[in-house]
Amino acid sequence: MNRKSLTTILLLAIATLILCTGISCATYIPQQQGINKTLTVVIDNNYPPYSFLGPKEILQGISIDEWKLWEEKTGIKVNITGLNWADAQTRMLNGEFDVIDTLFFSNERAKYYDFSSPYAEIDVPIFYNRNISGLSGLSTARGYVIGVKSGDNVISVFQEAGIDQIEEYPNYEDIIKAAADGKLMVFCVDKPPSVYFLYKYGLIDKYKQTDPIYTGEFHRAVKKGNTVLLHTIDDGFSKISQAEIKEIEKKWYGTTSISQENISQFFTFLGIAILLIMALMGWNYLLQRKVSQKTSELQNEVEISNNRANALAENEKFLTTLIDNIPDLVFVKDVKNGTYFRINKAFEKVLGFSQSELYGHNDRDYFKKEEADFFSGKDKEVIQSGLIHVIPEEIVHTKDGTELFLSTKKIPIFDEENNPVFLLGISEDITDRKCTDDALKLARNKLDFLNSIIFSEIQNKLFSLYGCIELMTDFIKVPDNNSMIRTQERLVTDIKYLLTNSKDYQNLGQKPPLWQNVMQSLLFGISHTSLTSFERDTHLDNLEIFADPLLEKVFFTLGDNILRHSKKATRFSCRYTKNDKGVEIIFEDNGIGISDEIRPYLFNYMGKDRYQLGLFLVREILAITNITIRETGTYGEGAQFTIFVPSGNYRFNTSTDTK
């Protein structure tokens, strides 16, 4: 028998084997038990990239494509329904579906389901606003309201960890929407859909994440005891190759635009380019040698002249670098007409004028008349005396009108004949130091006054308490002494409140004021209250103010007053307005507001209610840096506190985003 005949027989045998196998598989499907002609599957409809609604509300994703491939491999029709996750689990338990997909295993769920082999590992981290610090996992998540999806396995994880402050949402997208609206600072979303939705709503750089608090696995599950169906499902998915799975994942996760072929081509062209460059360099080297041989005599003649010019250029460069790297403001004036000859980078940055603007101009061209007269007068004193003059403090306004305080040294520069030709000035910006010193002096006075107030209040309360105790002794036989007992309890409570405030504000004015972001101080202040559950509207645009480090206590007290005295309030806002005198920060709520009877005494330590001591201390904290506060609301429409920050005590920092 020749080779051709053997090949023909072999091909016929293989075809017969394939045909028999196909017939066997085809006859196997109807004989399977536990499965109908159509398999019904329920799945989460909001879990990109595994399953989510696309255009025209059609389900799409990795899991959907895998089920379609399973349908092709098994010949069994699959009908997939997408629902909110909580509804999907409820209706599966009610027997409306054969299979539930994208389900994590848990001991509780194992009572009702049989699970397939796992097919995907899913990390589950906690996400939190980037302005929050100290949140690293389950052990540090207590005290925060955490957004979760209804029916999510993570709810049981939080409950086992003793965390019960959770707020449920229908799906993951609603959680991210709440975060985008500022209603949610902390939430727990599985890693794959979190990346999708954070990018979709522009929050990817505004939220940080912890390490995974646990890692779950996706399963497909059937009703407990239906092992035949479970075997059929696993058997069908086992027929899908890894190459087919990777192709589906590639479709939904995407790939980089640079292929191996592109890389190979790149290095090929790079090698050719390097060879060309080396050839050009060799040719250039030979050419240079020929040119240098013919021009060496000319170069020797020019060398001395070039060296001198280079030395002068290097000296000029060195002096420029030296002056520009001095942190203080440096300027040089021509003594003939008082015009500016040179300024350094620090002068340009602090005062806002460039070298080209000031060159050839005097002080009267750019500064206020009284300032220019002061500067030129001191210049004349230096030139006439020929001595260094130190000006401890002088006022100057920058190009944008900001008032600064400088400490300046002025030095006369003489030529070879000892005639004054230039005036050198070196100024240090002492604005922050002066403001700090002034604020500390004022704070010390206020602290002494505050201590005397609290001490006097404690003495008065104790005196009243002792009086009540003596009266109780006289009336000990009277059956009903409840009134006096309540009086004692109230007085003791007042004493406790006074002592608590003394402890909270014992550092008032002890540390120097500093620039603080208003949005961060607001968030930190209300984070100690239940105001995080209120609706809020904030527009602060990276506003920073120069205030005592206890600024956070100001917003805590304002928020605490809403909770204590505005029982009907459900919303608060914090915004700012700007005018020619400064900035007004407006903090308001939608509660009942402040009555006309209380308003005159609201910030007095001798107010009609004890809680007003807190507002008195708020006023004192702000007053350390000349910031004022007043109540401007309308009774019946809500409380409104207006904080006025004068010019020079506020700025807008565009290097951070805390919106």
> Is 272 within the bounds of a domain?
no
State whether 392 and 248 are in the same domain: no
Segment 528-535 mean pLDDT: 84
pTM (whole model) above 0.85: no
How far apart CA 604 and CA 602 sit, in angstroms, is 6
> Is 588 within the bounds of a domain?
yes
State whether 332 and 439 are in the same domain: no
How far apart CA 473 and CA 462 sit, in angstroms, is 17
> Is 98 within the bounds of a domain?
yes
Give the closest residue to 642 by CA, choosing from 602, 603, 587: 587
pLDDT of amino acid 291: 80
Give the closest residue to 420 by CA, choosing from 485, 497, 334, 346: 334
State whether 21 and 153 are in the same domain: no
State whether 36 and 94 are in the same domain: yes
Q: Which of 175, 196, 211 is the last residue of a domain?
A: 211
State whether 219 and 84 are in the same domain: yes
pLDDT of amino acid 76: 95
Residue 224 — pLDDT band, cuts 50, 70, 90? very high
State whether 393 and 337 are in the same domain: yes
Contacts of 593 (CB under 8 A, 6+ apart): 566, 633, 634, 635, 636, 637, 638, 639, 640
> Is 275 within the bounds of a domain?
no
The CATH number given to whatever domain includes residue 138 is 3.40.190.10
Residue 231 — pLDDT band, cuts 50, 70, 90? very high
> Is 315 within the bounds of a domain?
no
Q: Are 70 and 240 in contact (CB under 8 A)?
A: yes
| Per-chain mean pLDDT for the chain | 84
> Is 547 within the bounds of a domain?
yes
State whether 119 and 156 are in the same domain: no
pLDDT of amino acid 493: 64
State whether 396 and 377 are in the same domain: yes
The CATH number given to whatever domain includes residue 474 is 3.30.565.10
pLDDT of amino acid 406: 92
Report angle CA 136, 139, 143 to the nearest 5 degrees.
Answer: 95
State whether 91 and 23 are in the same domain: no
How far apart CA 478 and CA 591 sit, in angstroms, is 44
Q: Which of 201, 222, 255 is the last residue of a domain?
A: 255
Residue 19 — pLDDT band, cuts 50, 70, 90? very low
How far apart CA 588 and CA 571 sit, in angstroms, is 9
The one-letter amino acid at 18: I
State whether 526 and 623 are in the same domain: yes
The CATH number given to whatever domain includes residue 416 is 3.30.450.20
**Per the structure, how many domains does the chain have?**
5
> Is 149 within the bounds of a domain?
yes
pLDDT of amino acid 18: 41
Residue 631 — pLDDT band, cuts 50, 70, 90? very high
φ, ψ of residue 182 in degrees (nearest 5): 80, 15
Q: Which of 372, 406, 429 is the last residue of a domain?
A: 429
* pLDDT surpassing 50 at residue 611: no
State whether 441 and 393 are in the same domain: no
| Least confident segment among 147-161, 237-251, 439-453, 466-480 | 466-480
State whether 162 and 229 are in the same domain: no
**For a pLDDT cut of 70, what percent of the chain falls above it?**
82
* pLDDT surpassing 70 at residue 311: yes
* pLDDT surpassing 90 at residue 612: no
Domain boundaries, position 36: 32-123+214-255
* pLDDT surpassing 50 at residue 22: no
> Is 145 within the bounds of a domain?
yes
pLDDT of amino acid 74: 94
* pLDDT surpassing 70 at residue 95: yes
